[in-house]
Structure 1
Amino acid sequence: MSTQAAFAAALLDTRLPCPEGLYSANGADPDSRFSVYRNNVQSSLINALSDSYPVVAQLVGEEFFRAMAAIFIQSQPPQTPLMSSYGDALATFIAAFEPAASVPYLADVARLERLRTLAYHAADANPVHPEQISAALADPQALSELSVELHPSLYLLDSAYAVVAIWAAHQQDASLAQVDVNLGQHALVLRNELDVEVFALDHGASVFIRHLLAGQPLLAAVQASPPFDLSQTLALLISRNAITHLNNKVSP
């Protein structure tokens, strides 16, 4: 292992000794100086994860979260200096982390919080004016081939747990006592201007939007989805500026 690799490994794993060959210009003990530096690095990475996953941290408590994050850091060191991208594998880690097994919905809450971060940093796109969408929907000749493009910040999550309700309860300092955590939910995450919003969808609406994301024409997406309220779903997408382009293969 190179000196640089050994230094990096020791920074992330507190079980490893101070790398050989270090010295301090002012005569201080290199081991002590390195320990301080390592603690600062560890603390900064744990704080970054806590900032990205605040509800996960609240669900398990600060002490448990910081201990779990320290173990995660050892197995998943940063690959980029951008801290906003760090921790994308935390949900997968949590799902296999035995001490967190008593909170079975924790991994999906982490997935939801990760999607919120991705939505916040997604590219901008101008929405289609509602009047244009209404006109396109009112044209029976063109409707069969009409497809839409959705905002780059839009993400979906299907969970066996009430992830939206769990997340929402922690935005209001509410108790989970009134939440049936085992009631599965389908989440829609998107950024509307500067605000990242989270909504619970019916199963059919979630499937419909997935078809739209895959490029299916609107009517074909409706027909391929379980029953859902199409008007309500389109109203949500339009009101949240989620439709960014209309495509129609029919010549005028």
Structure 2
Amino acid sequence: MPLEQNQAFATAFARGLLDPTRPAPPDVTGRDGRSAGRRYDVYRNNVTVSLIEALAAIYPAVQRITGPDFFRAMARCHIRKSLPTSPLLFDYGRDFPAFIESYEHARELPWLADVARIERGWLDAYHARDAAPLSPAQLAAVAPDRLADLVFMPHPAAGIVRSHFSAVTIFAANRDTAPVERIDGSTPEDALITRAEFDVTVRHLPPGGAIFAASLMSGRPLGEAAASALDAAPDFDLASNIAGLIEAGAFTSIAFGDAG
């Protein structure tokens, strides 16, 4: 079969797998040359089930919040709109949080998409490459008059999720099997996700903390990052925030922005 025909067949085969309304491609036949539509339907169902299970493994808190039936229905809708782009199942579903945000039946759970973003960040941190975290001693060795020019190198596993809702609290309450008490989801919360050694941790950042951490992770000097945080939160405590970020393993090294 010529290359162009192979590509056309593969495209038709893949599209049909995620759309149950499509008939089996005409070139899908058995050894006797007869249509293998029934076998294709079985395979199509297996693919869908596998992708739903992959999403459930990536987003366990979301599934616990919605319940398995709601989650499976939502995941099935997502799967029909989003083809896998990687052979690794844990890499699937990166756009699932954005899908949840637009999913009509999840509108009564406006914080659900942000909980999913934290879960996605948790998995990315888990699979991030290892790196030795910055030690407090390295920062302590810097002369006070040079601190404002410091640039921090982010750890490969470090990430931030900002939310207008109580996403960190809801995430934490639904990552195990313990009973969940009623949570007021209307309080904005920002998450710092790190994995300094073996365990992924999710921390609730104080007001101004997310702006500060994000500024540092984007390469802005310490002085500029602190000014941005203070503009957003006048009560921002620079010392405790930088200490908390280092303790969490959010950075690997420091340098001077002026290369001096």
Instruction: Provide the TM-score with structure 1 as the length reference.
Output: 0.91
Secondary structure at the aligned position of 1:142 is classed as helix
Counterpart among 163, 167, 179 of residue 167 in structure 2: 163
Question: Is 1:248 aligned to 2:260, yes or no?
Answer: no
Amino acid at match of 1:49: L
Question: Is 1:10 aligned to 2:20, yes or no?
Answer: no
Considering only aligned residues, what root-mean-square deviation do their CA atoms show, in Å?
2.1
Structure 1 match to 2:42: 36
d(CA) in 1 for partners of 2:70, 2:177: 20
Question: Is 1:233 aligned to 2:241, yes or no?
Answer: yes
Structure 1 match to 2:79: 73
Amino acid at match of 1:25: R
Change over 3 Å in CA distance of 1:65–1:249 after alignment to 2: closer
Q: 1:28: Cα distance to partner?
A: 9.0
Deviations 1:230-249 (A, max 9, x none): 23222222222222111125
Q: Which runs of 5+ in 2 are unaligned?
A: 1-6
Change over 3 Å in CA distance of 1:50–1:250 after alignment to 2: closer
Secondary structure at the aligned position of 2:186 is classed as coil
Count residues in correspondence: 250
Change over 3 Å in CA distance of 1:92–1:251 after alignment to 2: closer
Structure 1 match to 2:4: none
Change over 3 Å in CA distance of 1:203–1:36 after alignment to 2: same
Contact 2:132 2:196 (C-alpha < 8 Å) held by counterparts = no
Q: 1:224: Cα distance to partner?
A: 2.3
Q: 1:19: Cα distance to partner?
A: 1.8
d(CA) in 1 for partners of 2:83, 2:71: 17
d(CA) in 1 for partners of 2:198, 2:34: 48
Q: Which runs of 5+ in 1 are unaligned?
A: none
Contact 2:131 2:196 (C-alpha < 8 Å) held by counterparts = no
Secondary structure at the aligned position of 1:164 is classed as helix
Q: 1:121: Cα distance to partner?
A: 2.0
Counterpart among 182, 187, 190 of residue 194 in structure 2: 190
d(CA) in 1 for partners of 2:181, 2:23: 46
Structure 2 match to 1:56: 62
Contact 2:158 2:194 (C-alpha < 8 Å) held by counterparts = yes
Instruction: Provide the TM-score with structure 2 as the length reference.
Output: 0.88
Question: Is 1:96 aligned to 2:102, yes or no?
Answer: yes
d(CA) in 1 for partners of 2:17, 2:259: 62
Secondary structure at the aligned position of 2:252 is classed as strand
Q: Post-superposition, which runs of at least 4 consecutive aligned residues in structure 1 deviate over 6 A?
A: 26-29
Contact 1:142 1:250 (C-alpha < 8 Å) held by counterparts = no
Q: 1:110: Cα distance to partner?
A: 1.0
Contact 2:151 2:216 (C-alpha < 8 Å) held by counterparts = yes
d(CA) in 1 for partners of 2:181, 2:224: 41
Amino acid at match of 1:112: I
d(CA) in 1 for partners of 2:17, 2:190: 40
d(CA) in 2 for partners of 1:201, 1:84: 27
